[in-house]
A and B are shown apart, each in its own frame.
Chain A
């Protein structure tokens, strides 16, 4: 790790100013700190977001959306939305291990947009809204490929607003070593249709499997997927842990399981 300065502002405004002055946001540090320890990142100043009360905690707004502060840990989400949004709670409760869940945050996970991370599938699958210090971004516009998001330089996520579906489920097939998602599928059934978001599989990061969405919107049952071909293996990640073809196959298997379990 290289030397760095550290500041812990208590308001979004001060944080944005510090980041604007060349700092880098630090939330749970579960991605950034290991990267720094490996000397793959060398921020001069870390701007901790963990002291900002307005970025923490969970509430339900008038529109019935679950609003989660960006600096809220995975463990808190797992605990707090267990009743109001069980699929989201289950997803958060299976990220990493207890140490990771007690520090890692939803904002950090989304900003990082790891192609194997869990949260992006819930956000895209729920059609959530990512709120930043400057604007609101629809999930469909937020994720722009592996480790890439719509965030501008110096822009920070402050909150995520989740519409609550009638039924939902997340199926995570773990990569045996890291236990990130080798393939993770988040299925959410809303009054006006079904959303299916897939993480872990594509080199482009999280994506919506629209063919499955169409079939499931007509008939929300695992059997409805029988006639749907697995997504193309082109562009799927191929590595030590599985070929693109295997991942494509798993997308279909996990989607069917998510529907059955929803």
Chain B
């Protein structure tokens, strides 16, 4: 029987009523008294030296309050990077300065040169057009391999070259891997591109800076996935404002997908400028601006080699990846192609030897950072594509080849640092087989053929590391932050609860699922629990939401805080019933004394805590409020098996997805409906990457896909009805809820399924195509068929 409330129930998302009826309060809904508007004049060339900026005429235009340029930020900090990667030789990565407004040079189309603050946005825009900027255009580097060639133009003049780092992992395995590949019975090699994506959250980024003269306090309202992280980075590293004088509020946020993790120049600008002019300063990104100022995702160029012995056991994997950093290091950029990518190269397989080399490169492009899945989709895509290619070369069944190499015993120590605590990859593959009727494929393919279409089936596994992360481990790996999470549970006198979490919800439904957990633990209705997030003034220091960490880490903190509440409440109940604390049981919101018919209700106890007339004041304090911080001991490892069935129109190259199935193991499930939704959304993004999306630059660094006229987002009719299942559950062994995280799985598991399916369709149609780079647009598929 499915439950109708608490953990495991498909409770309706309580936040949707306000989201769907215009009741949300997003950053752009915030308008302060005396507010001004900023417009950023951005570079329209990819690389150039700023010879002069003349703002005289613009400053005199109507409505202009003040114009800022890079010169106003001398002595102010630059945008920091939150992760330091160490290269193969043990040297730190190169870390060029990232000024708030360009200083001396512009380094990508969209790099902000000047900021006009005015009484209205249109006055600011008008004035921006009157700013005279003299830029000496320099040759741009866009292609990563060309950027590394001797004599290439340098993005940063003060660096020796455009190489940010050359990372080897595990460096000590390098020789052994080379040797294993030499000795292998078969080696399959694949070169591929994991293309650059624009994140495209439905809500563009917005920032409102405010300054209170009376208290010397700054407040930033911003579209962020992690307001505390922004407060720390911006306060300590950029503007020098102590955390107690800085409040960051991220109210309702309309999607992030990673792009709203990072600390952006516009946030620091609005906070700085509000203090400078003593008036609120608001910036709202347009969609066009978002294409050139939101951190992009992916952009890896990879060569992967998979070695097999004569029995088709995987013996070694060697990869070489070029990872585009763009023009500056965004907050977590260096970690994505390294620790979030290299550590996942084992996939679901027991390959004993793995070596991953990553060269991170500066180019004259928009900075690249984490985007849904961050590093793990790139790892999964290479691996699951090369395995498919190997199966085709060896003439073996791709599913059997995978099964034969699956990790089956846990815990499993991979050769790439991480240890999988639990999993059952055969179980999800079995489940997938039940879902897709593989036996019936040939009949369906024959039917497609009658209609002139080529049908193909793509199947793959995936694994990811979520619940980021054990602080001590990531500290060793270069993170400049801890990655715990926090929660304060405040019980009110009348029994209702407010949970203040350091996680941040930007569409994930935390207000619903978090309430389910706490209500379930106490045995009270969900509507007695309110979830508060997004404001540094009323939530404990938290690291925010990304990497499918909120339930696994934030939820665990909430469980720990609630456990403390229950422990104290039991003491109070014991006192009220004059019983021993050890005999108190809590069930369905009632405290009772074991073996007796004595009981008091939850509300009696909470009232006693705040009206302590009859209360053990000599033993415990009044009140019922507890905080917990939870630092995980390991990552969690969601995994699963995905299948995609496509039809290709051989005359046009158009791909149609006929069916898509996902069998995931997310451990325990708190709200199956929300999990379905997360998987649906993830698959939508994965299919978007596989078939439609891609940021293209021309060789001069102009973005060719800078609007929806050319950047193809998935629309509802591009997507099939999905079959999703999460009944295979191997609960996480180290967090109290046994949960693993489900936010990114869909985006990680689906691109290889789609590409495997299209390659399969073409091969069945007699085209010996081994690979097509994403997006698999009709044109690319057609070209592949032309040989």
Contact = CB atoms under 8 A, between A and B. Distances in A.
Interface stretch (A77-85, A186-194, A204-212, A246-254): A246-254
B652 A173 contact: yes
Interface in A34-57: 38-39
B711 interface: yes
A249 B782 contact: yes
B651 A177 contact: no
B782 A176 contact: no
Contact of B778 (A176, A177, A240): A176
A39 B129 CA distance: 10
B702 to A, nearest CB: 12
Given A39-B125, A240-B696, A250-B652, A177 B779 contact: no
B783 A246 contact: yes
B711 A177 contact: yes
B705 A177 contact: yes
B317 interface: no
B514 to A, nearest CB: 37
A250 B783 CA distance: 12
A234 B692 CA distance: 27
B710 interface: yes
Nearest to B715: A179
Interface in B751-786: 777-779, 782-783
A135 interface: no
B649 to A, nearest CB: 9
Contacts of A242: 777-779
Q: Which of B696, B711, B782 has the most CB of A within 10 A?
A: B782
Nearest to B691: A176
Nearest to A179: B715
Given A240-B704, A246-B783, A1 B122 contact: yes
A176 B122 contact: no
A241 interface: yes
B712 to A, nearest CB: 4
A1 B783 CA distance: 41
B288 interface: yes
A240 B702 CA distance: 13
Contacts of B782: 246, 249
Contacts of B704: 239-240
Nearest to B708: A177
Interface string A230-246: 00000000011111001
B710 A246 contact: no
Interface in B689-705: 691-692, 696, 704-705
Contacts of A39: 125, 129
A148 B122 CA distance: 31
A177 B652 contact: no
A253 B651 contact: yes
B127 to A, nearest CB: 13
A248 to B, nearest CB: 12
B712 A38 contact: no
Interface residues of B, number: 24
B710 A177 contact: yes
A253 B122 contact: no
B532 to A, nearest CB: 37
Contacts of B692: 176-177
A176 B288 contact: no
Interface in A18-47: 38-39
Contact of B652 (A178, A243, A253): A253
A177 B710 CA distance: 5
Interface string A160-183: 000000000000010011100010
A80 to B, nearest CB: 25
A176 B777 CA distance: 8
Q: Which of A1, A173, A176, A177 has the most CB of B within 10 A?
A: A176
B443 interface: no
A178 B710 contact: yes
Contacts of B175: none
A199 B782 CA distance: 20
A176 B125 contact: no
Contacts of B125: 39
Nearest to A243: B779
A240 B126 CA distance: 32
A241 B651 contact: no
A38 B706 CA distance: 13
B709 interface: yes
A37 to B, nearest CB: 9
Q: Which of B129, B651, B705 has the most CB of A within 10 A?
A: B651
A176 B712 CA distance: 6
A249 B709 CA distance: 23
B284 to A, nearest CB: 14
Contact of A246 (B122, B288, B779): B779
A176 B696 CA distance: 15
Contact of A178 (B129, B691, B709, B777): B709
A238 to B, nearest CB: 10
Given A2-B122, A176-B778, 13 more contacts: A176-B691, A176-B712, A176-B777, A177-B705, A177-B709, A177-B712, A178-B710, A240-B696, A241-B777, A242-B778, A243-B779, A246-B782, A250-B652
Interface of A: 1-2, 38-39, 173, 176-178, 182, 239-243, 246, 249-250, 253
Interface of B: 122, 125-126, 129, 288, 651-652, 654, 691-692, 696, 704-705, 708-713, 777-779, 782-783
Which A-B residue pairs are the 9 nearest by beta carbons?
Answer: A177-B712, A242-B779, A176-B712, A178-B709, A253-B651, A246-B779, A177-B710, A240-B704, A240-B696
22 contacts: A39-B125, A173-B652, A176-B712, A176-B777, A176-B778, A177-B705, A177-B708, A177-B711, A177-B712, A178-B710, A239-B704, A240-B696, A240-B705, A241-B777, A242-B777, A242-B778, A243-B779, A246-B782, A246-B783, A249-B782, A250-B652, A253-B651
